[in-house]
Structure 1
Amino acid sequence: MTPPDETGPPVISTGELTMRFGSVTALSSLDLTIGPGVTGLVGANGAGKSTLIKILLGLQTPTSGRAAVLGHDVATASHEIRRRVGYMPEHDCLPPDVNASEFVVHLARMSGLPQSAARERAADVLRQVGLDEERYRPLGGYSTGMKQRAKLAQALVHDPDLVFLDEPTNGLDPASRVDMLRLVRRIGTEFDIPVLVTSHLLGELEKVSDHVVVLDAGHLLRSSATSDFLDVTGAMLVEVLGGDAGRDRLGHALAAAGLTCHPRGPMVTVDPPPPGIDVHRVVRDLAADLGLALVRLQPDQGHLEDIFTAPGARGGERRG
């Protein structure tokens, strides 16, 4: 089992957790410990992310194994877990003829808040997510971004001890994605509420997560601090003007100079050189000789995508 986050007790733990749907295995012997902060649950569509969240909420019974949330066993205390957890589902669940204020107040009342406290909390949380001026509009007239914010508001209105956010940026344009990710980060830092956020867009979770759990076809590939994924690799990234043609000219020249390199989008990745070779000087001189203007020359960093191409990573069909 992965070690818990040392900054506090685990908020989620599983042991040998397995979920099968007939011949399809959605989760396979999952051993996991998740601590406070923002934890990204990442994997391709069908990796088992939503299945895991439904089990943790007590909405699905696993085939075998155990799971606990906030110290409560999901098999015996699912009602208490759902009372203490905020959940933002992936898919729309909003009544089109009800305004956001009425909807969030209703969810607050269902969570046990009295009428006056529910209205006060709803007004506050709708302001926090940026819907203060739109709270009396029917939800059916909301844009996708506004609907996502309304879903986030209902997950926060009862002041939960843990929040599950299932694909919160789904369907959003780039600007709205940035705003949503900023809200996710605020929940884990300013509001000090542990967050489990899922996404199949790996780069998003690099920006907001303290810890990352990577699932592939129901298997745990890796669970560690986000910073561990982003360590400097020792390679260099080089970009020059001239598009693919300029990139390829420089790449061929670097290879002829004895460096191992390969294209990555508009850039050339130069692997760590043999001892005694100054990559910066070689790149500078070759670019000058070729008449290519340097755009960037910087150390390469690891990325979450690298876990799927690392030796030992699973590459089979994704299910769940």
Structure 2
Amino acid sequence: MPVISTERLTKRYPGVTALESLSIDVGDGVTGLVGANGAGKSTLIKILLGLTGATSGGARVLGHDIDTEGLALRSRVGYMPEHDCLPGDVSATELVVHLARMSGLPTSAARERAADTLRHVGLYEERYRPIGGYSTGMKQRVKLAQALVHDPDVVFLDEPTNGLDPAGRDEMLALVRRIYTDFGISVLVTSHLLGELERICDNVVIIDGGTLLRSSSVADFTRSSAQLALEVVAEPATALAALRAAGLEVTRDGLLLLVELAGDETYDLVRDVVADHGLGLVRLEPRRHHIAEVFDEEATRVAR
């Protein structure tokens, strides 16, 4: 049974169609919901949570119909909203305990779960400070903690890396991945940054203008190409010249050299050139497509 299933789900506002006949199935694991700002990602999550109604179509989450079984559904789901919605005059502990109790946990269990969850997201030492004094990254962690504290079966994370610096994004993405690998909680995470989701997701759903472009595993999205990705210790320009002199077709992509794969003999020739010129081999592997490339391909195909 899919964790999330939608059937011709449509949401229209006056003059705007946010979702158009969206039919998807989302299974266990970490699933990325990808699209540009305004693609319909947040609207979909709000419909799945029962925070707004659909114009037509239907959906089920964990087997529950979103229209008729909302209470049963929400007790099994966690939600991390995109916007800053935290009260500044309470501590992280007070807020997370309060929300744990609202989810049905007894007071003692709520306090224990809050402490464990805040430790998991890296806020244990800061848990008694007022949230108003927190950095953006700390506030994002509080939002993540309250989504997890009642031990849900699935969590919806709406743009969890918003406002974070590169180091903060890396830490948040690691936390998101651990939600499933450590605790077995399935995740639907939205982002407009394709590279982020490629790193942590098992599956990706791409929507554009409220319609489905493609839904597949990350492995299928990032299929192998007919190129080798080569990285060497030496200056890439030096390696590029040496490889071309050996008759290979090579292009440069930053520190990587992309070698056209003509057959198994290409591996041997690249190895020999690297060894003969003392270039220092760091990496040699089939190049895989990035999700961003596939997104562009799919968007171009649909537009035709």
Match of 1:267 among 256, 275, 287: 256
Check conservation: 2:229, 2:284, Cα contact below 8 A: yes
Inter-partner Cα distance in structure 2 for 1:137 and 1:224: 42
Check conservation: 1:247, 1:266, Cα contact below 8 A: no
User: Aligned partner of 1:306: which letter?
Assistant: E
Structure 2 equivalent of residue 44 of structure 1 = 36
Match of 2:269 among 281, 284, 288: 281
Structure 1 equivalent of residue 69 of structure 2 = 77
Inter-partner Cα distance in structure 2 for 1:20 and 1:117: 42
| Pair 1:226 & 2:226 matched | no
Q: Report the Cα offset of residue 12 of structure 1.
A: 0.6
User: Aligned partner of 2:203: which letter?
Assistant: H
Q: Report the Cα offset of residue 86 of structure 1.
A: 0.4
- Segment drifting more, 144-153 vs 77-86: 77-86
Inter-partner Cα distance in structure 1 for 2:274 and 2:184: 51
Q: Report the Cα offset of residue 288 of structure 1.
A: 6.6
- After TM superposition, list the pairs within 5 Å mapping 1:219-258 onto structure 2: 219-239=211-231, 241-242=234-235, 253=244, 257=247
Residues 264-310 of structure 1, C-alpha deviations (whole Å, 9 max, x = no match): 3343423332x586255168549978x97776543211221121232
Structure 2 equivalent of residue 309 of structure 1 = 296
Structure 2 equivalent of residue 215 of structure 1 = 207
- Cα separation, partners in 2 of 1:314 and 1:276, compared to 1, 3 Å: closer
Check conservation: 1:58, 1:75, Cα contact below 8 A: yes
- After TM superposition, list the pairs within 5 Å mapping 1:37-186 onto structure 2: 37-186=29-178
Inter-partner Cα distance in structure 1 for 2:259 and 2:70: 52
TM-score when normalising by structure 2: 0.87
Inter-partner Cα distance in structure 1 for 2:264 and 2:284: 19
Check conservation: 1:216, 1:314, Cα contact below 8 A: no
Match of 1:298 among 262, 270, 285: 285
Number of residue-to-residue matches in the alignment: 302
Inter-partner Cα distance in structure 2 for 1:109 and 1:237: 52
User: Aligned partner of 1:109: which letter?
Assistant: R
Inter-partner Cα distance in structure 2 for 1:157 and 1:270: 49
Residues 111-134 of structure 1, C-alpha deviations (whole Å, 9 max, x = no match): 222222221221121112111111
Q: Report the Cα offset of residue 179 of structure 1.
A: 2.0
User: Aligned partner of 2:216: which letter?
Assistant: S
- Cα separation, partners in 2 of 1:119 and 1:277, compared to 1, 3 Å: closer
User: Aligned partner of 1:91: which letter?
Assistant: H
- Identity of aligned pairs, percent? 61
- Cα separation, partners in 2 of 1:23 and 1:269, compared to 1, 3 Å: farther
- Cα separation, partners in 2 of 1:17 and 1:258, compared to 1, 3 Å: same
Inter-partner Cα distance in structure 1 for 2:122 and 2:251: 44
Residues 201-258 of structure 1, C-alpha deviations (whole Å, 9 max, x = no match): 2222222212211222222122122222233223112456546x6587578x47x947
Secondary structure in structure 2 of the residue aligned to 1:61: coil
Structure 1: runs of 5+ lacking an equivalent: 1-8
